Amino acid sequence: MLRVRPTHFTSHLEQWARLLTDIGMIKTAGDGTWQEFDAGSGRLSLRPAEAGSPDDGSTLFGVEVGELEEFARRTNEAAALEAAAGETGANGPVSAELVATDQGPACRLVVRNGFSFLAGPAAHGANCADADPALTVVGVWFTEDTAAAAAALRSIGAHPRPVPDNDETADFTAKNGGLLMVRPATGPDRAGLGFEYDGDLGALRGRLTAAGHEVRLTEEAFGHSLHIANPDGGAQLWVSQRLPVTE
């Protein structure tokens, strides 16, 4: 199994929990120090951070899987096949190793450019049936080496999804929920967080506005997006419209 599960660190846990609930997510695990929320597709983990600390307002790219050992084996096998095919040079695009973290056992994925992220064991099974079925969690990977990122995601079992244009962007779906996006950017690799909505974006905007959130609707090159005031301040949280894309 493979499910998108980014982790967001914040000193505004209550505000984030309220926003996620109003967007349509359901809290499915956690206590006062950490929480997990399910969308119709994908999952998000909230972790506390000290106000003003480097972690405050940051997001970690991440996924969750079933059997860690089997996931690591399959990932390394797929990466070796990519390398043998000449797609990534002598070394595969990613390597997987089992590690111990403060949250328990996990699998660390190390990309050839040095970027790394974790695959953790799924704390519970399917996404909550009470979550908004039109809402999908999106983990974004910003990188200068989009080819390496895309190859790494293929190796972990994510499935490419067609995109409207033919530039360096790439979208991937996870079998058990969520969407992973690769986007070109300068500087060190970093993670971003957003959502996709396969429903009435105007109705979602009305729901959020009625709940007291600051929301604006924007028209972009390939559809509409909502931009919501971020509880951490800074860049707004986005919810993009799900557009049908043909092969």
Domains of the chain: 2-63+125-241 (3.10.180.10)
Q: Residue 215, Cβ neighbours under 10 Å: how many?
A: 18
Mean pLDDT value across the chain = 91
Q: What is the pLDDT of residues 66-77, one digit of tens each?
A: 999 999 999 999
Q: Evaluate if residue 89 carries a pLDDT over 70.
A: no
Which pLDDT score is estimated for 87?
60
Question: Reduced to 3 states, what is the DSSP secondary structure of residue 50?
Answer: coil
CA torsion 83-84-90-94 (nearest 10°) is 20
Which pLDDT score is estimated for 245?
56
Q: What is the pLDDT of residues 185-228, one digit of tens each?
A: 999 999 999 999 999 999 999 999 999 999 999 987 667 899 99
| 142 torsion bin: left (phi>0), alpha (psi -120 to 50), beta (else) | beta
Which two tokens mark 10?
């914040």
Q: Evaluate if residue 180 carries a pLDDT over 90.
A: yes
Which pLDDT score is estimated for 221?
66
- Which is higher by pLDDT, 102 or 8? 8
| CA–CA distance, 140 with 146 (Å, rounded to integer) | 12
Q: pTM for this one?
A: 0.93
Which pLDDT score is estimated for 234?
82
Which pLDDT score is estimated for 43?
97
Q: What's the average model confidence in pLDDT over 27-49?
A: 91
Cβ(136)–Cβ(43) below 8 Å: no
Q: Residue 180, Cβ neighbours under 10 Å: how many?
A: 27
Nearest to 6 by CA among 65, 49, 61: 61
| CA–CA distance, 162 with 148 (Å, rounded to integer) | 18
Q: What is the pLDDT of residues 128-167, one digit of tens each?
A: 889 999 999 999 999 999 999 999 999 999 999 987 666 7
Which pLDDT score is estimated for 67?
94
Which pLDDT score is estimated for 39?
97
